[in-house]
Amino acid sequence: MRLEPIAAPSLARRVGLPLAALAATVVIGMAVVLVAGAEPFAVLGLIVKGAVGSKFALLETLNRATPLIFTGLAVAVAFRAKLWNIGAEAQLYLGAVVTVLLGTGTLAWPAPLLLPALGLAAALAGALTLLGPAWAKARLGVDEVVTTLLLNFIVLLFVSMLLEGPMKDPMGMGWPKSERLIAEARLPRIVEGLRLHWGFGLALIAAVIVWLIQTRTTFGYAMRAVGQNARTARFVGIPVGAVTLGTALLSGSLAGLAGFSEVAGLKGNLTLDLSPGFGYTGIVVAMLALLHPLGVVVAALFVAGIFVGADSMSRAAGVPSYIADILLATALLLMVLALPMTRFRVRWR
Amino acid sequence: MLDILDILLSATFWTAAVRIMSPLLFATMGELICERAGVLNLGIEGIMVVGAFAGWMAVYSGLGLWPGVAVAMLAGMGFGLLHATLTVPFGLSQHVVGLGITLLATAATYFTYRIALPQVSSPPRIEPFTEWPVPLLSEIPVAGPAFFAQTPLTYLAFATVALTAWVLYRTPLGLALRAAGENPAAVEAQGLSVTVLRMGAVIIGSGLMAVGGAFLTMSAFNSFFFEMVNGRGWICIALVVFGAWRPGKAALGALLFAAFDALQIRLQQTGLGQVVPYQVFLMLPYALSILALVAMSRRAEVPAALMVPFNKGAR
């Protein structure tokens, strides 16, 4: 077989194929449910109901989407510039560590000063985490996929060490968890009495800012040029190494903010299960969003809905909630297949 | 210091190191074959999970141990076929497809486990491979028990390294495979199909990764646990780079890594373990992998066409 570029792809092709990919995902998911011995349509209904069926469910989905918007943006920004950041998980955790270090009483500032300071510190921690691998890539040609991946393991062990050592809450009944943030360090709720917090608003703002950087600034242009063809970019005088480092700083900051938002907005303290793989799920989010910053918001809501819905469905119907991961992996693979097919046609010979 | 020397001279230490190395050998050779043909296979972590589960499940449901290994290999080859189809003829991003395969394979395995054994609280055990001491050779001090008193899967791992090296460097097939990763256009000029070579490499390589996973449930432990592969796949990717894409060097790297892993477990029990948090020891293998990658980067001989899709007829 051979792929032939299509000069002018029709609108039906460009919209239809991604939609077909999503439809195929649903069909495959229902087949998996059938294998599990449950009623596919009922399960599908339970997932949708669990994700958006009530005010509580909807707010839960928005809450779950918040860290995914941050990590999805982090991955999307980096992938655009061909920096393969698989380490958002590590950056998230170090952002959270810094938030806890400064937010448990170390800085006794009023909230309007303290919250920006914590966010900034968390962003910086995330940025510095990615700087090492990005530097090794730019200067030594070390593959960042492997280094950022391995760093995830190291950082998680490091956090475990902190939580069983210097950062352990003496009042924690022996559990490895940190002290709670002081009241001034907590992100306020968007509506009083409901769990949704301002981390969600911050995530939306971050998406718009990233979009503006990518479309309106020279740096955004340089990132895209490096991503499309580093050699050509170098030839026209773009400092490829510096752009790679700049991209790393932006990407790592976003993932660090995810840690800040989860600790200051939702959890209030740091535990080892702060993130059930938000860094890795961010990769799926970014790919489903076609690496577009505003698309990341939509994709994160979709992915969060699947997780929240599958959790609730699992309790009600007894189908393992791992079905959420199966659905996402299928959607990811079918989507990366569908997108180039909008521009190419398969010729069999 | 004397503690460390004592450990390094003990037979049990080296026996443990070789046992830790064995699954890495299978998976590292699998990854190496893929990459030599020009395909980065980031599905490795998930494919190892599939292999660990499929082999164990096959034995648990009544098949013999060797048929269990075959089942694991076939399951891995299935996911290899999926990876190969998406990355070779369609030329999709190898990074994204690989991570997608890892996510899919891991989730599908855990899902199947929950469906197949809904009632169990602790996973059932199987009768794993037992040691086959080689006569005479296993009586050599230290090295004997380490290398020649292991289970047959370990010997199969050694054989896999030798076979991979022999095929890659001594056969026309190996030449064609390496060329597919270096200069695919030249392969086509010879009248061979890059697509067939690359897909075959990914399918066989994925089968080997799955056998590496199966080693965990069928030889090292006797049961299947969630998270049991625990990053070994990613380590194997680092080992391929560390070994500069050569089977022998990658195998040596695996031994070094495994020795380090076995050492850190033992160091935790010495006086050092009283002072240093255990997490530091657990970090060492990952930190060592990163350092090795940085150190090797200067003289890396990356296959020239690694991660470059080949579209026949396109120039």
User: Domain-by-domain residue ranges, chain B?
Assistant: 2-116+148-297
**Which pLDDT does position B299 carry in this prediction?**
65
Question: Which token pair is A296?
Answer: 């990341």
**Which pLDDT does position B315 carry in this prediction?**
41
Nearest to B241 among A143, A149, A322 (CB): A143
* B108 with A146: Cβ contact below 8 A: no
* B307 contact A CB<8A: no
Close Cβ partners of B121 (under 8 Å, ≥ 6 residues apart): none
Instruction: Give dist(CA B259, CA A211) in Å, integer.
Output: 48
Across chain A, what does the average pLDDT equal? 91
**Which pLDDT does position B309 carry in this prediction?**
81
* B115 contact A CB<8A: yes
Computed on alpha carbons and rounded to an integer, the radius of gyration of chain A in Å comes to 21
* B238 contact A CB<8A: yes
* A157 with B279: Cβ contact below 8 A: yes
* B297 with A326: Cβ contact below 8 A: no
Report the top-level CATH class of A37-319: mainly alpha
* A84 with B294: Cβ contact below 8 A: no
Nearest to B283 among A32, A35, A154 (CB): A154
Mean pLDDT by groups of 10 residues along chain A of 349 residues: 78 84 92 90 92 91 96 96 93 97 90 92 97 92 88 95 90 86 89 84 96 94 90 89 95 97 94 93 91 95 94 90 93 89 77
Chain B residues closer than 8 Å to A146 by CB: 234, 237-238, 241, 289, 293
**Which pLDDT does position A349 carry in this prediction?**
62
Chain A residues closer than 8 Å to B97 by CB: 333, 336
Nearest to B111 among A86, A142, A323 (CB): A323
From A198's Cα to the closest Cα of chain B, the distance in A is 31
pLDDT in tens, A35-44: 888 889 999 9
- What is the greatest pairwise CA distance in chain B? 65
Nearest to A160 among B231, B279, B289 (CB): B279
pLDDT in tens, B113-128: 999 888 777 888 888 8
pLDDT in tens, B275-304: 888 898 888 888 988 888 888 777 667 888
Instruction: Give dist(CA B99, CA B97) in Å, integer.
Output: 6
Which CATH number is B2-116+148-297 given?
1.10.3470.10
Closest CA to A44 of A310, A344, A321, A325: A310
* B293 with A142: Cβ contact below 8 A: yes
Answer whether 0.95 is exceeded by the pTM.
Answer: no
* A150 with B238: Cβ contact below 8 A: yes
* A317 contact B CB<8A: no
Give the ipTM.
Answer: 0.89
* B284 contact A CB<8A: no
Residue A46's H or E segment, with its range, is helix A40-52
* B293 with A1: Cβ contact below 8 A: no
The percentage of chain A sitting over the pLDDT mark of 90, rounded to a whole number, equals 66
Instruction: Give dist(CA B144, CA A174) in Å, integer.
Output: 45
* B300 with A141: Cβ contact below 8 A: yes
Look at strands A344-347 and A2-5 and give their pairing: antiparallel
Chain A residues closer than 8 Å to B286 by CB: 150-151, 153-154, 157
**Which pLDDT does position B2 carry in this prediction?**
64
Backbone angles phi, psi at B226, to 5 degrees: -65, 150
Task: Give the residue from chain B lying closest to A160, CA to CA.
Answer: B279
Reading chain B (315 residues) residue by residue, the pLDDT tens digits are 667 777 787 888 999 999 999 999 999 999 999 999 999 999 999 999 999 999 999 999 999 999 999 999 999 999 999 999 999 999 898 988 999 999 999 999 999 999 988 877 788 888 889 888 888 888 888 777 788 878 999 999 999 999 999 999 999 999 999 999 999 999 989 899 999 999 999 999 999 999 999 999 999 888 999 889 988 999 999 899 888 899 999 999 999 989 988 988 888 888 777 788 889 888 888 898 888 888 877 766 788 888 888 776 554
**Which pLDDT does position A254 carry in this prediction?**
98
Three-state DSSP at B29 gives helix
**Which pLDDT does position B300 carry in this prediction?**
63
Instruction: Give dist(CA B96, CA B100) in Å, integer.
Output: 6
* B86 with A337: Cβ contact below 8 A: yes
Residue A263 CA from chain centroid, whole number? 16
**Which pLDDT does position A89 carry in this prediction?**
96
* A329 contact B CB<8A: yes
Computed on alpha carbons and rounded to an integer, the radius of gyration of chain B in Å comes to 20
**Which pLDDT does position A143 carry in this prediction?**
84
**Which pLDDT does position B104 carry in this prediction?**
96
CB distance B50 to B83 below 8 Å: no
* B293 with A32: Cβ contact below 8 A: no
Residue A167 CA from chain centroid, whole number? 26
Closest CA to B72 of B222, B197, B240, B217: B217
The percentage of chain B sitting over the pLDDT mark of 70, rounded to a whole number, equals 97
pLDDT in tens, A38-69: 889 999 999 999 999 998 899 999 999 999 99
The count of CB pairs under 8 A between chains A and B is 127
* A329 with B104: Cβ contact below 8 A: yes
